[in-house]
Amino acid sequence: MGSAIGQSLPVAVGVLISPLPIVAVVLMLVTPRAKANAFSFLVGWLVAIYVLGTIVVLVAGAATPSDDKPGWVAWVKIVLGVLLLLVAFRQWSGRPRGDAEPPTPKWMQAIDSMKPPAAAGLGALLGAVNPKNLLLVVSGAAAISAAAPGSTGTQLGALAVFTVIASLGVIAPVVVYLSLGDRAGKVLDELKTWMIHNNAVIMAVLLLVIGFKMIGDGITAI
């Protein structure tokens, strides 16, 4: 299991630092339904990442019944790496210049009126349906599958660790909110502002690093 966790760890960190899901939790924590919505978001996020990762692991396991690592695994990593690089380039190209403010996603404007089921749905969308996270979670699950072929139990255990690590970013604002009480508002507001403004740059750098890692791993395995 250690090898599978190690191979997927950089990707989990990439999901962890994704700014927009963190901003979503921060915004929920300043609404009247702060705790209910934030915890619902976390549940939706955790379930979506683990379910998507499980699907990837099971599909890869069905295609690779033995302990051998077929050549297609390496090519899948290379393709995922190239896709991550393309998304990184798009993020970098769309970054705000100078003092320009990035556009606010429409879903952020709806957070004030959200109820827990909608918050859970938003967590699932940002966790596993959002294209950037979708690529990252698939990449992490593919790395786990390749590192522990033929051992579904080990793969699912490593995937659980991956999911927890990938979720630390959205868990952190809730911990701050619960631990700092009234003082949390200022800290979370500063975090939200910084992350919204730097979202494109943060994601471009993360996707660039992870993309090159996936391509390198694929080339090494050929």
Please state, rounded to an integer, the average pLDDT across all residues of the chain: 84
Cβ burial, residue 66 (10 Å; 0-12/13-18/19+)? exposed
Instruction: Confirm whether pTM is higher than 0.85.
Output: no
pLDDT at 69: 56
Q: What is the mean pLDDT of residues 14-32?
A: 88
Q: What is the mean pLDDT of residues 72-99?
A: 81
d(CA 216, CA 126): 27
User: 206-218 as b/e, with b when 16 or more CB fall inside 10 Å?
Assistant: bbbebbebbbebb
CA distances to 16, 99, 100, 105 from 10, rounded to whole Å, are 10, 31, 31, 27
Q: What is the mean pLDDT of residues 101-125?
A: 85
d(CA 122, CA 114): 10
Q: What are the residue ranges spanned by the domains of the chain? A: 2-221
Q: Is the pLDDT of residue 184 over 80?
A: no
What would the pLDDT profile of 60-77 be if each residue is shown by its tens digit?
766 655 555 556 667 888
